[in-house]
Amino acid sequence: MLYVALVAISLDGSLMATIDVTIPEEKLGGLVCLKYWTRGSLVAEYLLSTVIYEPHSDAQVSSLAFRPGHNMAVTSSYGGDFKVWVHGSHAGRNNESMQRTGWRCQSVGSYKGKPLTAAVFSADGSILAIAAETMITLWDPDSNILVAMIGDTLSPITKLSFVGKSEYLVSYTHSLKPQLSVWSTSNLALYWSHGIVTEAVSCSHDESQFAVLALLSSPGDADAKGNGVIFFFHVEDPVPVATWTVTKAKGGSLAFLPANPSLHESSATNGVNQLLLVFMNGKHEYTIFNPHKEENIISKNSRKSQAAQDEAERLGYTSIYGDLSNSNAKHNHFQEVPFAPSERPWETIFSGSSHALPPLTKLCTSFFESLLEKRLENSNEMIIDADL
C-alpha cells in the first residue's frame, strides 16, 4: 500500500514535491521516496522530474518546504538531519560529457543529534528555520551555517511558519502541554504565546496576519466532539481580531486566498486588497470567511441534510437509503415479467440474483445437459453426442 505523507508546492506553483511512503508487508518491502514534479501545460498537471529513494535512510521525513524565488527545497527527518536540495545540471558517472538535469542534495545539517521536527524558509528566502524538538535553529541556506537559536518550548514543535514578510515566526506544539507561540527573529526571543490545542496554522504571504484552528478538547480526549475555534490574529497583538466557532475541526485545515470581487461586493478597503480565509473541515467541507466584514461568511459547501429540522437524526440504513417502503403493499401491484426460454440455455442459466438461483448441484446438471446436442437418426434411435 502506498500513500502520500507530505506535499509541498512552490509559491508560484511551478514546482511540487511529495513524500511517498510504501507500507511494508510483514516487515518487508517498506520504502520512502522523495519525488519532484514540474507543472505541465494542462491545468493541475504535474510531470515527474526526479525520484530520490530513501532521502534520509531509514528515518521518517518530518517536513518538506520550498525556498521562495529559488530552485531549492529542504527536507528534515526525525533521524536528526536535514538536507538542502537544489535543481540543476551535473555530470554523470565517470565524468561523462553528458549532463544530467534534476534535483540533488547540496548540503546536510544537524543540531546536536536531536530529531528535527519542522522546517520552513522565510518569505525572502534568506533564512531557513529548523525545529530541533523544543529548539528553533536559524540557518543560512546558501552556506549551511548555523546563524542563531531561539528559546525553548514545553514540548517538541510540530510546525513552523513565517508570518508574511515579517520577522515573526509562528510555532505550535501538541502533546499534553500544547502551546502556540510567536517568536521574534530579530530579538531571538518569545513575543507572545497561548496554551491552546492547535490543529492547523495558515499565514498570509504579504501581510502580518495569520489564522489558527484550535480544538476545544485536549489531545487524547475520547469524548471529544470535534468542535473548534478559528482565531484570526495580527502578529503583534495576542488578542484575536476575529473568531469563529466551527464543527468537525479535527483533521481540518486553513488557507488564505485573494478576495474575488464576484464573491463579495467589496473586495478592497481603502485601496488595499483584502484576504479571504478558507476553512476545510475533517469531512472535506469548506467555508469561506471574510475577516474584515461583519457578515463574514462568503460561501460554504456543507452537505445539507434531507431531514426536517424537527425530525430525529437518521442512523444506519435509513441515513443512506431513506425509509423502507411499506411492507403491507399488495403483491398484485407488481406486473409479472414476461419470460421466454432461450434457445442457448448455457448462456443464461447462471444469470440472475444469487439468492434466486437454484442449488449449484441442479445448475451443474442442467448446464452439462445443455451442452449435449440431441439428434434423430433414420433408425428412430436417440444418439447423444458429447460435444464439450
Distance CA 74, CA 64 (A): 6
Q: What is the pLDDT of residue 374?
A: 57
Q: Which residues contact 62 (CB under 8 A, 6 or more apart)?
A: 76, 77, 78, 115, 116, 117, 118, 119
Class of residue 200 by CB neighbours under 10 A (exposed 0-12, middle 13-18, buried 19+):
buried
Which of 213, 151, 218, 216 is closest to 178 using CA atoms?
Answer: 218
pLDDT number for residue 268: 46
CB 245 within 8 A of CB 226: no
pLDDT in tens, 236-251: 999 999 999 999 999 9
- pLDDT of res. 297: 66
Nearest to residue 65, comparing CAs of 142, 122, 108?
A: 122
Convert 69-103 to b/e letters by CB count within 10 Å (16 or more is b). Answer: eeebbbbbbbbbbbbbbbbeeeeeeeeeeeeeeeb
C-alpha cell at 346: 448455457
Which secondary-structure segment (H or E) carries 362? helix 360-370
CA–CA dist 157, 201 (Å, integer): 13
DSSP, collapsed to helix, strand or coil, labels residue 168 as strand
Query: What residues does 51 pair with on adjacent strands?
Result: 35
User: What was the pLDDT predicted at 313?
Assistant: 54
Q: What's the pLDDT tens digit per position in 312-345? A: 555 555 655 566 655 554 445 444 444 445 556 6
Q: Which helix (H) or strand (E) holds 133?
A: none
- pLDDT for the residue 145: 95
pTM above 0.75, yes or no: no
Q: Which residues of 172-186 are buried (b: 16+ CB within 10 A; e: fewer)?
A: bbbeeebbbbbbbbe
Per-residue pLDDT for the chain (388 aa), expressed as one digit of tens each?
889 999 999 999 999 999 999 988 887 888 999 999 999 998 889 999 999 999 999 899 999 999 999 999 999 999 999 999 999 866 555 555 555 679 999 999 999 999 999 999 999 999 999 999 999 999 999 999 999 999 888 899 999 999 999 999 999 998 888 999 999 999 999 999 999 999 999 998 888 899 999 998 765 565 556 789 999 999 999 999 999 999 999 999 999 988 765 554 444 444 455 788 999 998 889 999 988 775 556 666 655 444 444 445 555 556 555 666 555 544 454 444 444 455 566 566 666 666 666 666 666 666 667 666 655 555 444 444 444 4
What domains can be seen in the chain, in order of their start residue? Answer: 1-89+102-152 (2.130.10.10), 342-388 (no CATH)
Q: Which three cell numbers stand for residue 117?
A: 521536527
Quote the pLDDT of residue 90. Answer: 61
Beta partners for residue 99, in sequence order? 91
What is the per-residue pLDDT for 381? Answer: 47
CA 257, chain centre distance (Å): 18
Alpha carbon distance 74, 144 (integer Å): 11
